[in-house]
Structures are given as structure tokens and as C-alpha cells.
A and B are shown apart, each in its own frame.
Chain A
């Protein structure tokens, strides 16, 4: 094994981590926006599933990947609209409604996605650039979009007026309301935005990062996103690197099976691989424990109004 081969291997693994972390990044940032406005949406898994299924179906029939991604976004947004209506207007419990969204998403995607299981998948476009010909162009573009999306989201949240309004509504809705900010409109907007990002993440999965549709495609990625939001302390930039970290963890069992890897390859030891599969989930619990310590120390916390419906005070 030569040094240059190892370098290429390392780059492949790291780039793979970025690729597999990007759908998670979209979902995580979407949920950050939703939760920053005060609405917890536990339906990410369901929204990602309909996004993945719908996106794949649209690509399958139109052959256009952009259409697929847009369809995924719209479907995720549609499910989120339902969640918004139930929790914001009808003031139902956000936890239970989120679960219902997940059931619904899983059910719909499973029923409507049946014809697409095991179908042909989008063929990667390769670039005629030496050294890059093994990497699909759309993956490069996707990673690039993710890389600029997170800082943009951070900037929007922290440096613009709509971002300020959004944060205020999640922290202290009655103060925001007293200054003329419409709490209900704001929450609706960002819950739907969060759903669209989750749907986009799902579609990116079924079209670009892990092409193809199968039942239960996202295998809990949506739930991990909910955990990452907490560890990211509701900050898109922290969300960026944690998503990539989890992208790495998600790929690790596969990468380690590569016999080309010296010493740590698990190619001959499948049982270790099974335990490696637990890593992302164990790591999620672990970072929550870490996060709780940090939260106590630094006063990082969930948006103060997270999970509570806003009921406008009686005004005469």
C-alpha cells in the first residue's frame, strides 16, 4: 500500500462524510429554525421520508433532478403545514403531533413508494477533471450548497430583522407580540420552512447521496437530526460540523470494511461492524449528555418558549 493511495482513501472517506452528512445538515438547520420560533417538530423523519420518496418519484418520471429536489421540498413543507395547523392553531401537544407526522410520512411514503423500490437510480454525472472523475458532480454541488447554506442560515438568524423576529417569537412571544410582531404568522412560516428543508434533505438522499428508494429509507436520520439540534445548541454553524461528524459516523461501518485500510479494517470481522452501526445512535445519546453539562455551565438552553402554544392574552 503506497502513501498516495492512502491519501486518496482518506480524502474519499472525508468527502464521503461531507456527502452523507449534508441531508442531515438540511434537516438539522430546518429544525433549528422551527424550534427557534418555538415549535418543536418531531416529524422530521416523516418529512424526510416523503421528501425522499416524492423526490425520487418525480425524478423517475421527469428525469429532472432539480424537479425532484423541489418536489421533495414541497412535500416536506406540506406535512409541516399540517403540523403547524395542529400545534399552532389547534394548540395540540407538539410531541404527539410530531409523532403523528412521522407515522403519516412513513405510511404515505411506504404506500406510494412501492412502485419505485428497486428501480433504476440516477446515474452520477462525472467530471472530466483528473482526480475527480470518481466523484459524482452532483455530490460536489450538494456539499457546496450545504457549506454555504449553514453560514447563510446563521447570518439570517443573527443579523437580519426577520431573524431577530424569529428568535424573539421563540424566546418571549408576548414581548414580541407587544412590539407588533405576529407570533402566529412567524411560527407558521418557519415550521413550514423547516419541513421544506427536511423534505429537501430526504430528496437529496434518494437522488444524490444514497440514490434509490426503499421503504424506511432514512433509517432514523430524522430522529438523529432532532438530537443534533439540541447538541448544536440551536446554532446553524454548530449544526454544520455535527452533521458532518455524524455523516462520518454513518459511513464509518462501510468505510472500515474496505480491506485496503491498514490495521483497522473490519473486513474480516463482521461482528465489529454491527456494533459500529450503533455508533451514530450511541453518539447522539452521548452528545446529549455532554450537551446537558455544557448547557448547565454556559446557560445554553432551548428557546424559552419551545413547546408551548402561544395564547394571545385577553386584551379588554
Chain B
């Protein structure tokens, strides 16, 4: 006696094609869903109208169309903006914020490409900032040429960051020690290291938890310094740091997609066995990639102190973590990272004055979740299918004792 039963089950198959639009869809979906969930959390935290909050965040981050129009007409007439800082101030702030994000994102991208989870861009950035500050205040004289000074600071930041990144790389390559934990622990050590110098240690000035002001030669020139030539520039703090990030992104994209070494990295990241088969040295590349990752983060640190013009005990943490999310949203593509970093810069600027405070962090977490959750759509095809089963009930059980 046979009985036919049918039921449905979720079938997950490996996807053979890889539609390009899905990356964009999952990123947009991630952001939308994050905003919806965030809205509920805002409600719970006491905000009456989450949509108004979002509108406020957008305005704070990018400005309004009316202000932009005023700004553009001011530029065309070579006048100061009638609305003052409102014209391009938000955009300028966002660009300032985006430049360290972009650099730490690139740090994450180069490591993640090789499946090295460098979560320590924060610590590497702190060390870069520390080294750059040391050069600016204690190594080179105030009168040093600005370009030489900034170059030396960048070099110091890169060197410090790369050394700090190479430590977990070395431990991973030689002793197979989990780089996630080591890079994280080095973050905290980096924080404390800076605290020692700034809060109690030799670099602080008097009772302030801060170093002295950097000499002008050790600071990024801001747009506002050129107010005489361009009236519109008044009060805008945007600086060349963003160009450093964009250049680094282009360079990294070139390395990854066009250079021999980048090819090796992509091979190792995708299939280490095939890399060994081709004769590629894995250990050396692990250390090298971690050093480069650290170097980019260190450069972010230099970039940040040169913009802040002093190193304080409240030097901001968390850029390294934002970099992780941006890297993932950009699907580890350095050029896409430029755009996503800009948007995240906007998110951080826009939420700065908004209560409650943790909103940026929460939104980042939700976005990351949705992006990795929808990743399933890339790798697998999910289908609901009908299953028919032949059930022969009487044969079972009878023979059990």
C-alpha cells in the first residue's frame, strides 16, 4: 500500500549566474530596511516623528536644494553666499568626515580581499595619528615648508600604521593566531597608548587633555584660508585630505585590478589552494597585506590630526569600524568605496547633533546585517518547491523487534 504525500520545502541551490544588479539592490535594500528599523527604535527612544528626524539628518549632512541654488549663484557671481555657511557648509563638513572613513575603508578592503579580518584599523589609525603628531610637534621645526612637513607626517603615519598592522599579520602568518582578536586588542592598546601621551603623559599641555596647537605648516590648508580669492569659501573647512583618500582609492583599485601583485592577492583571497598551486607565497603576502592595510589606516590618522590641528584625548574612535561596514557595502570595490564613504560621512555629520546619540552606530549595524543577509541571494537561488514522497508505512516498525 502506497500513499502519496506532498509537501513544500525551501530549496537552496548554488547560483550559476551572478547578476550585477543584485549588489545594488541589496545595498539599497539594506539602507531602506535600516531606516525602517531605525525608525521604530527612534520611536521607542521617544522621537515623535522619525521621518522628520531623517529629514533633519539629511539636511544637516548635505544641505537643502534652496541653499545649494543660492550657493551656486554666489559662485557664479563671485560673491559670498547670502546664506552664509548654510550653502555648502554641510557638504564641506561631510567631505571632511568622509576622508578618514574612506581611508579606513580602503584599509579594510585590501585586507578583506585576502580574507584577513583586520578589525584593527582604529588602533592603526591611532598610532598613525600619534606618529604624525610626534613629527609635527617634536621632530621637525615649526618653520618647515608646509609640503615637506605634511609629507613627513604622512610618511610617519604610514610607517607607524603599517608596523602596527604587520604585528597581527606576522602572528597570523607564522603562528596562525586569529587576527580578529589580535587586531581588536591592539585597538584598545592604541587607545591607551594615546591616552598616556595626551591625558597624563609628556605631550599634554597643562591641565588640558590635549597637545599644543600644531604649527600652521603641519595642518591641512582649509578652503576658508582662500576666502580672499573665493568669497564663497568663507568658513568652509574642507581640506585636501579627501583628495588623498580618492587618490589612494584609485591607486588601490589599480593595484587590485591591474597589477601583478593585486592579481596575486585576489587569487589568494578566492582560493588559497590555487595560489599555492601557482607558486604564490602565502605567508609573505599575509604580512605584506596587513602592513599595507595598517599603512592606509595610519594615513587616516595623519589625515585626521592634520585636519584637527591638535591631538586631544577625545580623538574619535570608531572610524575603523565604520570602515568595515563601508567596505562591505561597497562590495570591497575601492572606487565604490568613495561614494559610500561620502554617504556615511553624511550619516555621521547628520546624526551628530541629533538625539539620541547612538543612532549612527545602530543604523550601521542594521545596514550591515541586511547586506550580509541578502548576500544569500547572490550565491544561491532560493526556491519553494513541491516535494512528493512515497510513504510505505507498513514496512517500518514491524521488523523492529
Report A-B touching, CB under 8 Å: yes
Report A's interface with B, CB cutoff 8 A: 42, 46, 82, 86, 90-93, 95-97, 99-114, 215, 219-220, 223-224, 226-227, 230, 270-271, 273-275, 277-278, 281-282, 284-285, 288-289, 292-293
Q: Is B185 an interface residue (CB 8 A)?
A: yes
Residue of A99, A109, A110, A224 ringed by the most chain B CB atoms within 10 A? A99
Compute how far the CA of A108 lies from the CA of B364 in the bound complex, rounded to whole angstroms.
Answer: 11
Beyond the given A110-B358, A223-B184, please list 12 additional residue pairs across the A-B interface where CB-CB is below 8 A: A93-B372, A103-B325, A103-B365, A106-B365, A107-B361, A108-B358, A110-B361, A111-B362, A113-B358, A220-B184, A271-B201, A278-B193
Query: When the two chains form their complex, are residues A106 and B361 in contact, meaning their CB atoms are under 8 A apart?
Result: yes
Query: When the two chains form their complex, are residues B368 and A96 in contact, meaning their CB atoms are under 8 A apart?
Result: yes
Query: When the two chains form their complex, are residues B365 and A105 in contact, meaning their CB atoms are under 8 A apart?
Result: yes
Query: When the two chains form their complex, are residues A289 and B175 in contact, meaning their CB atoms are under 8 A apart?
Result: yes
Q: Is B41 an interface residue (CB 8 A)?
A: yes
A106 partner residues in chain B, CB cutoff 8 A:
358, 361-362, 365
One digit per residue, 1 when the CB lies within 8 angstroms of any chain A CB and 0 when it does not, for chain B 352-380 equals 00011111111111101100110110011
A293 partner residues in chain B, CB cutoff 8 A:
175
Interface residues on B, range: 35 or more
Q: Is B186 an interface residue (CB 8 A)?
A: yes
A224 partner residues in chain B, CB cutoff 8 A:
185
Compute how far the CA of A106 lies from the CA of B44 in the bound complex, rounded to whole angstroms.
Answer: 16
Tell me the minimal C-beta distance from A233 to chain B in angstroms.
13
Query: When the two chains form their complex, are residues B180 and A95 in contact, meaning their CB atoms are under 8 A apart?
Result: yes
Compute how far the CA of A281 lies from the CA of B177 in the bound complex, rounded to whole angstroms.
Answer: 15
Compute how far the CA of A215 lies from the CA of B358 in the bound complex, rounded to whole angstroms.
Answer: 9
B315 partner residues in chain A, CB cutoff 8 A:
none
Query: When the two chains form their complex, are residues B372 and A270 in contact, meaning their CB atoms are under 8 A apart?
Result: no
> Please, which residue of chain B has its CB at the minimum distance from the CB of A103?
B365
- Closest 5 A/B residue pairs (Cβ): A110-B358, A107-B362, A103-B365, A104-B365, A107-B361
Q: Is B58 an interface residue (CB 8 A)?
A: no
B180 partner residues in chain A, CB cutoff 8 A:
42, 95, 226
Tell me the minimal C-beta distance from B251 to chain A in angstroms.
26
Within 8 Å by CB of A103, from B195, B359, B368, lies B368
Query: When the two chains form their complex, are residues B372 and A96 in contact, meaning their CB atoms are under 8 A apart?
Result: yes
Compute how far the CA of A114 lies from the CA of B355 in the bound complex, rounded to whole angstroms.
Answer: 9
Q: Is B154 an interface residue (CB 8 A)?
A: no
Compute how far the CA of A114 lies from the CA of B354 in the bound complex, rounded to whole angstroms.
Answer: 13
Answer whether A92 and B362 are a contact pair too, CB < 8 Å, given A278-B193, A292-B175: no
B196 partner residues in chain A, CB cutoff 8 A:
271, 274-275
A112 partner residues in chain B, CB cutoff 8 A:
41, 44-45, 356
Tell me the minimal C-beta distance from A218 to chain B in angstroms.
12
Within 8 Å by CB of A111, from B181, B358, B368, B375, lies B358
Compute how far the CA of A162 lies from the CA of B44 in the bound complex, rounded to whole angstroms.
Answer: 39
